[in-house]
Amino acid sequence: MSDRFMRLIVFFDLPVKTAEERKIANRFRNALLKDGYQMLQLSVYSRIVRGRDALSKHEKRLIQMLPEKGNVRCLEVTEKQYASMKLLIGTQKPQEQKVNAEQFLLF
């Protein structure tokens, strides 16, 4: 069970009215990208992790990078649950098609 692939999905709504707020929001977004998250859609980012220990580690990292204002939520789902997500309109982004649990095993 500890080797089970999971997804950590981060949803955020940050203030961006001033130049300083935009800078803080971009810093948070870039920190997510640097930590291996991929953008699913605007203000929704996801990353794959292997097991509960890795999930806990990345949740702690997420807490450390939180901005002071705004709303940030995270959701943990299994890779199987994530794979069953339905795209109702639009197309998958290339990065969504690129990384899945089977490809993650190659790393």
pLDDT tens digit sequence for 24-71? 999 999 999 999 999 999 999 999 999 999 999 999 999 999 999 999
Domain that residue 29 falls in: 5-104
The pLDDT of residue 1 is above 50:
no
Q: What pLDDT score does 93 carry?
A: 75
Distance CA 84, CA 107 (A): 23
What are the tens digits of pLDDT across the range 60-102? 999 999 999 999 999 999 999 998 988 898 888 776 665 555 5
CATH value at residue 54: 3.30.70.240
Burial 36-63 (b: 16+ CB within 10 A, else e): ebeebeebebbbbbbeeebbeebeeebe
The domain tally of the chain equals: 1
pTM: 0.82
Using DSSP, state whether 7 is helix, strand or coil: strand
Give the tokens for residue 4: 């089970």
95 within 8 A of 38, measured Cβ to Cβ: yes
Q: Which residue's entry shows tokens 């999930």?
A: 55
